[in-house]
Amino acid sequence: MDIADLIEVSRRYGADEQMVLAGGGNTSKKLGGEMYVKASGHMLADIDASGFVKMDLSALEQIWDKEYPEDTDERENQVLADMMEARFAGEQARPSVEALLHSLLKPVYVVHLHPGLVNGVTCAQDGEETVHRLFGDDAVWIPLVNPGYILAKTVRDAIREHEGRTGVYPASIFLQNHGVFVSADTLDEIDRNYDRIMSTLTAALKRTPQMAPVAVDPKRKELITEALQTYAGSEQACHVLMNEELTSRLQDEESFYPLSSAFTPDHIVYSGFKPLWIDHTVFSEEDPVAAVAARCRAYEKAYGVAPKCLAVQNTGIFALEERAVILFQDTVKVAAYTESFGGARFMDDDQISFIRNWEVEKYRAKVS
């Protein structure tokens, strides 16, 4: 199978920051019982043939006839093993965590992305109602369920139900707190579907995020940087985010609420499941650097992981990893978009801990 067109479309969407952040999302092409799907740990923007895994669709189809254990870890381990088995001989790379979901969509091409604007709906209180109202029978809504096997099975059942009821194969599948799958037999149709999704959602917005940068107090920046470096024991540069949206969000913990938890698995993996809130009184303590470092240690003690982002009242968002800041910037946009669709709706606690513990996500966080 020639996958030059799959590589082209992957790079094109991957290079568009409205559509793809930090490499998130994945693509596939099917033909004659074979599927090329993006391998885990590759960025769409610069992907080449080595970033795709060739899989046997009939072997993937057999997964649906198998009985898997009730226990989540055992089940996901076995499904993962079966997915690895479904690769063609000689394939070394690990298929995307969403390969099973790609395999069950009928059309030739699948482009799955997590655009901020789309997540403004999938992470909104009125998300489901909005998707039905704006996209009718062209779209299916999938509620928040465990990723991996359960998500794929939920989508499989939902498409059957949708087709049976409406007679229409859905062009797009909106996943609550995650993103969208768009599938079509031609790439032109993929583009048309995405254009329609983005323009329809843009037209439905009541306001757009105000992302103009705002200067950060240099003295505070220096203090927080030193504190983060002290805590992490490294000389790594600190990345800072401050803009008009954040100026109003960082006023107090109440205004910060729409940014205080995780919208999607990507946000958990790259910018942490929850930012550490630091109130501005810390700057009047005797040793602010020690005080902030102590808060970081307390967070780590409480949650078993280092805080990836510090949200400092009236100051800015600080992180040692650049990707944490990039994804937090997305959180800021998503939160603003959700206001047009009933307000923010985070992943629930069970889902957050599932992602935090999911072996596949640990792999993704590690290879990135």
> Contact positions toward Zn ion, by CB under 5 A?
179
Task: Find the shortest distance in angstroms from Cβ 310 to Zn ion.
Answer: 27
The alpha-helical segments, DSSP class H, found in the chain are 4-14, 57-62, 72-85, 99-104, 116-122, 127-135, 149-166, 187-204, 218-232, 244-249, 253-256, 265-271, 288-303, 322-338, 349-357, 359-367
Q: Which is nearer to Zn ion, 56 or 266 (CB)?
A: 266
Minimal distance in Å, beta carbon 350 to Zn ion?
Answer: 19
Closer to Zn ion by CB, 14 or 179: give it: 179
Report, in Å, the least distance between residue 40 CB and Zn ion.
11
Long-range residue pairs from 362-368, CB within 8 A, at least 24 positions apart, any chain? 363/40, 363/41, 363/94, 364/40, 364/41, 364/97, 364/269, 365/269, 365/270, 367/40, 367/41, 368/22, 368/23, 368/41, 368/269, 368/270, 368/323
Residues counted in the chain: 368
Torsions phi, psi for 213 (to 5 deg): -65, 150
CB of 205 to Zn ion, least distance (A): 23
Residue with Cβ nearer Zn ion (127 or 179): 179
d(CA 252, CA 80): 43
Helix (H) or strand (E) holding 368: none
Kindly tell me which of 26 and 329 has the beta carbon lying closer to Zn ion.
26
Give the shortest CB-98-to-Zn ion separation in angstroms: 5
As a whole number of angstroms, the distance between CA 350 and CA 248 comes to: 30
* CB-based closest residue to Zn ion: 179
Looking at the Cβ atoms of 173 and 240, the one nearer to Zn ion is 173
Query: Which residue lies nearer to Zn ion by CB, 179 or 288?
Result: 179
Q: Closest approach of Cβ 144 to Zn ion, in Å?
A: 13
Q: Which is nearer to Zn ion, 43 or 216 (CB)?
A: 43
Residues 141, 121: Cα–Cα separation, whole Å: 11
In the complex, minimum distance from the CB of residue 233 to Zn ion, in angstroms, rounded to a whole number: 33
Nearest to 119 by CA among 201, 14, 213: 201
